[in-house]
Amino acid sequence: GENVEQHPSTLSVQEGDSAVIKCTYSDSASNYFPWYKQELGKRPQLIIDIRSNVGEKKDQRIAVTLNKTAKHFSLHITETQPEDSAVYFCAALMYSGGGADGLTFGKGTHLIIQP
Partner 1 sequence: GAVVSQHPSRVICKSGTSVKIECRSLDFQATTMFWYRQFPKQSLMLMATSNEGSKATYEQGVEKDKFLINHASLTLSTLTVTSAHPEDSSFYICSARVLMRSNEKLFFGSGTQLSVL
Residues in contact with partner 1 by CB under 8 A are 32, 34, 36, 41-46, 49, 51, 89, 95, 100-108
Q: Is 14 helix (H, G, I), strand (E, B) or coil?
A: strand
Query: Which residue, 42 or 70, has its beta carbon nearer to partner 1?
Result: 42
Query: Which residue, 34 or 73, has its beta carbon nearer to partner 1?
Result: 34
Query: Which residue, 34 or 84, has its beta carbon nearer to partner 1?
Result: 34
One-letter identity of residue 4: V
One-letter identity of residue 94: M
Partners of 73 in the β-ladder: 23, 66
What is the closest distance, in whole angstroms, from the C-beta atom of residue 55 to partner 1 in the complex?
17
| Strand pairing category for 10-14 and 109-114 | parallel
- Nearest Cα to 71, choosing from 28, 21, 20? 28
What is the closest distance, in whole angstroms, from the C-beta atom of residue 21 to partner 1 in the complex?
13
What is the closest distance, in whole angstroms, from the C-beta atom of residue 16 to partner 1 in the complex?
27
The number of residues making up the chain comes to 115
What is the closest distance, in whole angstroms, from the C-beta atom of residue 108 to partner 1 in the complex?
5
Query: Which residue, 43 or 70, has its beta carbon nearer to partner 1?
Result: 43
- Helices and strands per DSSP (H, E), number in the chain: 0, 11
